[in-house]
């Protein structure tokens, strides 16, 4: 693992690190905010998965999460959204290939050799983090924006027991029924739609064992609302009688100004779950 940068931040440290990823077969970069408390022992962890076109950097510099993480003594992880490098396949469209890994393990050509973002986030990066930093991996929460909200919800629901809480900002909520989903799931996983189901938060909600709290914020003026399909997930949450809060926020669009406006609530929501008991 290589340290790219470390900056003092709200009494803690905002770091950027890179490492050779065995599952993605390339070098991967991630951001990690450690609060001051990490100097004295392991602290709880909140994952932040980013959306289309993002690297590890967008949320780290634009969401304003560190001040609240410092207040609650929680670490923040900002992973990249896809494999990187010259030999990694890409597409001309911004919503496929680099910056658009969709948090799945690709099985199809030309994506399969590097696009293993599910295993990267679920397996490889947590092991690396637990080994190298003062993090309490028994106390993890996960959040994300747009494609990252989809990643956060599907990881939490597929890995019951791993995350004590899950939240999302404008998640891609029903990708198997949306052009933000069908295109990428076909490209990465193939045309057999049965293989897509574990990557759809709305479908998973009907059968999940995840019993932690869920918080979802959605901007009512989001320019991508029809692609995100929040009403499908809201309906599934209600139908399941899942513990959860869904908030439609009038006037807010899809940007980081929206994320930054509600990140305080999300960090506090996760802190409640991570410090409970
Ligand atoms: N490529 C499109 C959409 C990309 C987009 O809105 N990406 C969101 C996540 S889905 C984002 O966080 N972009 C990076 C940023 O705002 O820093 C555009 O540029 O309008």
146, 165, 167, 178: the active-site residue: 146
Q: How many angstroms does the Cα of residue 168 sit away from the middle of ligand 1?
A: 16
Strands (E), 26-155: 26-34, 43-49, 75-79, 135-144
Catalytic residue among 80, 114, 222, 270: 222
178-225 pLDDT, tens per residue?
A: 999 999 999 999 999 999 999 999 999 988 888 889 999 999 999 999
CATH architecture of 2-275: 3-Layer(aba) Sandwich (3.40)
* pLDDT tens, residue by residue, 148-189: 999 999 999 999 999 999 999 999 999 999 999 999 999 999
Question: Is the CB–ligand 1 distance for residue 219 below 6 Å?
Answer: no
The answer, yes or no, to whether ipTM is higher than 0.85 is: yes
Is 254 among the catalytic positions?
A: yes
Cα 53 to averaged position of ligand 1 atoms, centre (Å)? 6
Question: What is the atom index within ligand 1 of the atom nearest the CA of 259?
Answer: 12
Spatial contact of 164 and 137, defined as CB atoms under 8 Å apart: no
Q: Within a 13 Å sphere around the CA of 264, how many CA atoms are in the beta-carbon half? A: 4
Give the integer Cα–Cα distance in Å for 182 and 211: 28
Residue of 13, 15, 23, 38 lying closest to 139 (CA atoms): 38
Backbone φ and ψ of 266, nearest 5°: -70, -40
d(CA 207, ligand 1 centre) in Å: 31
Residue 172 Cα to ligand 1 middle (Å) = 13
Tell me the pTM. 0.98
Give catalytic status of residue 146 as yes or no: yes
Q: What are the sequence ranges of the domains in the chain?
A: 2-275
Does the annotation count 150 as an active-site position?
A: no
Per-residue confidence of the chain (277 residues) as pLDDT tens digits?
A: 999 999 999 999 999 999 999 999 999 999 999 999 999 999 999 999 999 999 999 999 999 999 999 999 999 999 999 999 999 999 999 999 999 999 999 999 999 999 999 999 999 999 999 999 999 999 999 999 999 999 999 999 999 999 999 999 999 999 999 999 999 999 999 999 999 999 999 999 988 888 889 999 999 999 999 999 999 999 999 999 999 999 999 999 999 999 999 999 999 999 999 998 6
């Amino acid at each position: 693992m290589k340290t790219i940068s470390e900056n003092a931040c709200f009494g803690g440290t905002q770091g950027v690190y890179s490492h050779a990823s065995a599952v993605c077969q390339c070098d991967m970069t991630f951001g990690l905010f450690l609060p001051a408390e990490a100097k004295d022992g392991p602290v709880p962890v909140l994952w932040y998965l980013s959306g289309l076109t993002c690297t590890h950097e967008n949320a780290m510099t634009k969401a304003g999460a560190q001040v609240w993480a410092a207040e609650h003594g929680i670490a923040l992880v900002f992973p990249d959204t896809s494999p990187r490098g010259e030999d990694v396949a890409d597409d001309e469209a911004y919503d496929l290939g680099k910056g658009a890994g969709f948090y799945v393990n690709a099985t199809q050509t030309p994506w399969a050799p590097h696009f293993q973002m599910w295993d990267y986030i679920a397996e490889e990066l947590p092991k690396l983090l637990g080994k190298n930093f003062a993090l309490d991996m028994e106390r993890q929460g996960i959040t994300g924006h747009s494609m990252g909200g989809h990643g956060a919800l599907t990881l939490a629901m597929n890995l019951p027991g791993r995350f004590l809480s899950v939240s999302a900002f404008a998640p891609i909520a029903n990708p198997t029924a949306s052009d933000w989903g069908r295109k990428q799931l076909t490209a990465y996983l193939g045309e057999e739609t049965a293989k897509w189901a574990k990557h759809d938060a709305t479908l998973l909600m009907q059968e999940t064992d995840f019993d932690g709290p869920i918080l979802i914020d959605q901007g009512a003026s989001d320019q991508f609302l029809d692609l995100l399909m929040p009403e499908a997930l809201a309906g599934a949450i209600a139908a399941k009688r899942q513990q959860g809060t869904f908030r439609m926020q009038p006037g807010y669009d899809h940007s980081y100004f929206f994320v930054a406006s509600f990140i305080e609530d999300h960090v506090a929501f996760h802190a409640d779950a991570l410090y409970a008991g």
